[in-house]
Structure 1
Amino acid sequence: MSVFRYNPRDYFYTSPMERFIVNLLDNTFDDRYRPLQSVAPYWLNQPVLNECNIGNALGEVINEKDKFAIQVDVSHFHPKELSVSVRDRELSIEGHHKERNDHSGHGSIERHFVRKYVMPEEVQTDTIESHLSDKGVLTICATKTMIGLPAARNIPIRASPKEPEAGEKSASNGTGQ
């Protein structure tokens, strides 16, 4: 049993230095020829971006029969830098953060985002509330009305009168015929 990886091209490279260079180049360019593993953008696989919470940046929408809620990670923003507004059926969440690093004004950091969601017609816009958790998750929720669905009710069953049979009709006439 061999401890080394078998490569059929090693037969042609006799010196250890040639094998080392070929293996180094193969390992360097392996990523170009790997099969497509997911539909995620290529930049999501970068080690630096793995620390960012990009998966929840768009938010999570909860649409149940009695409530509508949205959860968005806004941990890089202070509450005063966030705004939530409703216009017609459109819910808008906006965050804007700006800071300067030094007194000369040469360095600055700025973050800005806008998320817009179209709410279902059943959402009561006057019941919308927002809450920011200590971990930086903004939750916006509202109750829904039951439009188009009538309240449950009992339907009475009426019995129809029993029809007399053919022989009973003549007896009920009283003529006896």
Structure 2
Amino acid sequence: MKTLVIIDMQNDFVDGALGTKEAEAMVPHLLEKVKTFDGDLIFTKDTHPQNYAETQEGHLLPVAHCIKGTKGWKLIPELAKIAAERHAPIFEKPTFGSVDLVKELKKRYDAGQLESVEFVGLCTDICVISNALLTKAEMPELPIYCDESCCAGVSVEKHQAAIEVMKSCQVMMKGDNHE
């Protein structure tokens, strides 16, 4: 089975505390992909505690975001609806990469139930790349893809840099320039 992993498509990353115009612009394309994807869906949610400012990430990125239970922490409404309809698992992650997500993918892979994984979402240069490379490290023979047209980074330059690093690490690209 093919699996599409939708990384951190939360209000705070689209049009909230850390939103960007690039994130807002790619949402319609990502929604179309998710709606028509023939395979399993898995979602992640960046999840921080109320004391975010006291954490290492809070010191290095002093913008409160994705605080558990807030509007900004929730998936954008269109994706929340799809996740519920498809009974898709949602992994809350306190850091950039999700070890629990990779454990679930590995379990499916070892059982012969995973033929490929594709990553989409936010932010390309932080959480998308972290999860793609964790997955590649755990399952080097599994075909891993990223649809760059369904991702956005902190900036256009960092998005493109992350795409280049993923290509160097044999994550295959999909999207407007690669299909």
Q: TM-score range by the shorter chain?
A: under 0.3
Q: Identify, as 1 or 2, the structure richer in strand.
A: 1
**Superposition TM-score, scaled by structure 2 size:** 0.18
**Superposition TM-score, scaled by structure 1 size:** 0.19
The structure having more radius of gyration, on CA atoms, is 1
Q: Identify, as 1 or 2, the structure richer in helix.
A: 2
Q: Higher relative contact order by CA 8 Å / sep ≥ 6: 1 or 2?
A: 2
